[in-house]
Amino acid sequence: MAFFSPKLGIDLGTANTLVFLPGKGIVLNEPSVVAVSEQDRKVLAVGAEAKDMIGRTPDNIIAYRPMKDGVIADYRVTEAMLRYFINKALGKWNIFKPEVMVSVPAGITSTERRAVIEATIKAGAKNAYVVKEPILAAIGAGIPIQEAKGHMIVDIGGGTTDVAVISLGGIVASTSVKCAGNKIDASIADYIKKTFNLAIGDKTAEDIKIQIGSAIPLDEELAMLVKGRDFITGLPRSTEIKTNEIVKAISRDLRDMIKAMKDVLQETPPELSADIIDQGIIMTGGSSMLRNLPELVLRRTGVKAVLAEDALFCVAKGTGIALEHLDTYKKSIISKRG
């Protein structure tokens, strides 16, 4: 039993981090947020507890996201966050160092990749494997990535949109744009500021996106009461906002995402393009759940798009499956440090 080492898959996202334990499934889904005290840079809270503090903290506590656009922006804080997630997932009685697989954006540089590996090892992992997100998203969505067929996967998270065409277990063409869920939230907040002179927080912007947002205009619009602070009087005020206004507010961001898909389609070899037309584009990630997004993709690219089952959890599930079948996926899995 001495050599037994638990396995963990971590979907290290800009907005949320998910931890997958083979055999158990997703054991943890918490925001990638850390609350740090300003004086002594001590980590006070991580995850859900820290997210509740965002926008509500006294000056001496800073709640921030150590991952920016899918890569590590603050190394020390990321390490503390990883350690917290690993310990929480394994329970405090665990004495064995786990083997950890971490997802990274497709456009990551080798330096950024090394930073992820080192942070994971320092946080208590025995070995760290780093795999590109689109490959994991594809595995988690149940796509047989080993076969000689082209599959196109679009993973839209909080910080990045990863687009990739995968064949024979490898990435044939890919791109990664820093335009995803967080950017959409920011555009919504910006629009409400300009149109209604109303200041709203990130959380409210996200709620608006989820409750009434859509990728294409609707005939029967949804409406929502939005509360915020009036820019002119400085007092709280509420206003009603409708779906089609949100469509207008986020249209540029969606255009950037669609452009990334078109770029990858243009780089794809013709044989694989034929496969993609047959299979459609598979969409994963939390932000791909925006209303009517697959329909917009179809209208703009001419290729049908399908939302994967459990879109939010595909990458995390992919880490778990890849860990269980490390030998099968060896060549798709890029680097390891032990």
Which tens digit of pLDDT belongs to each residue from 96-132? 889 899 988 877 888 888 888 999 999 889 989 888 8
Task: Report pLDDT digits (tens) over 131-162.
Answer: 888 999 999 999 998 888 999 999 999 888 99
Model pTM above 0.85: yes
Q: How far apart are CA 162 and CA 178, in angstroms?
A: 9
> Which band of pLDDT confidence, cut at 50, 70 and 90, is reported for residue 227?
very high
Contact 160, 70 (CB under 8 A): yes
The pLDDT, as a whole number, for residue 1 is: 36
Q: What is the mean pLDDT of residues 193-202?
A: 94
Contact 71, 105 (CB under 8 A): yes
275 has pLDDT over 60: yes
Q: In what order do the strands lie in the sheet with 61-64?
A: 43-46, 34-37, 61-64
Q: What is the 3-state secondary structure (H, E, C) of the chain?
A: CCCCCCEEEEEECCCEEEEEECCCEEEEEEECCEEEECCCCCEEEECHHHHCCCCCCCCCEEEECCEECCEECCHHHHHHHHHHHHHHHHCCCCCCCCEEEEEECCCCCHHHHHHHHHHHHHCCCCEEEEEEHHHHHHHHCCCCCCCCCCEEEEEECCCCEEEEEEECCEEEEEEEECCCHHHHHHHHHHHHHHHHCEECCHHHHHHHHHHHCCCCCCCCCCEEEEEEEECCCCCEEEEEEEHHHHHHHHHHHHHHHHHHHHHHHHHCCHHHHHHHHHHCEEEECHHHHCCCHHHHHHHHHCCCEEECCCHHHHHHHHHHHHHHCCCCCHHHCCEEEC
Of 197, 280, 187, 274, which is closest to residue 231 (Cα–Cα)? 197
> Which band of pLDDT confidence, cut at 50, 70 and 90, is reported for residue 338?
very low
**Amino acid identity for residue 93 in this structure:** W
Q: What is the mean pLDDT of residues 78-107?
A: 86
The pLDDT, as a whole number, for residue 303 is: 96
Task: Report pLDDT digits (tens) over 17-52.
Answer: 999 988 888 899 998 888 888 777 788 888 888 888
Q: Do domains 7-136+315-337 and 143-307 have the same CATH topology?
A: yes
Q: How far apart are CA 38 and CA 116, in angstroms?
A: 25
The pLDDT, as a whole number, for residue 212 is: 97
Domain boundaries, the chain: 7-136+315-337, 143-307
Q: How far apart are CA 330 and CA 194, in angstroms?
A: 51
287 has pLDDT over 70: yes
Contact 17, 50 (CB under 8 A): no
331 has pLDDT over 50: yes
Separation of CA 14 from chain center: 6
Q: How far apart are CA 283 and CA 120, in angstroms?
A: 28
Contact 156, 281 (CB under 8 A): no
Q: What is the mean pLDDT of residues 319-327?
A: 83
> Which band of pLDDT confidence, cut at 50, 70 and 90, is reported for residue 188?
very high
Q: How far apart are CA 142 and CA 193, in angstroms?
A: 42
88 has pLDDT over 80: yes
Domain 143-307 indexed as CATH 3.30.420.40: yes
335 has pLDDT over 60: no
Q: How far apart are CA 329 and CA 164, in angstroms?
A: 17
The pLDDT, as a whole number, for residue 4 is: 66
For the 7-136+315-337 domain, the top CATH level (class) is: alpha beta
Average pLDDT, the chain: 89
**Amino acid identity for residue 35 in this structure:** A
> Which band of pLDDT confidence, cut at 50, 70 and 90, is reported for residue 95?
confident
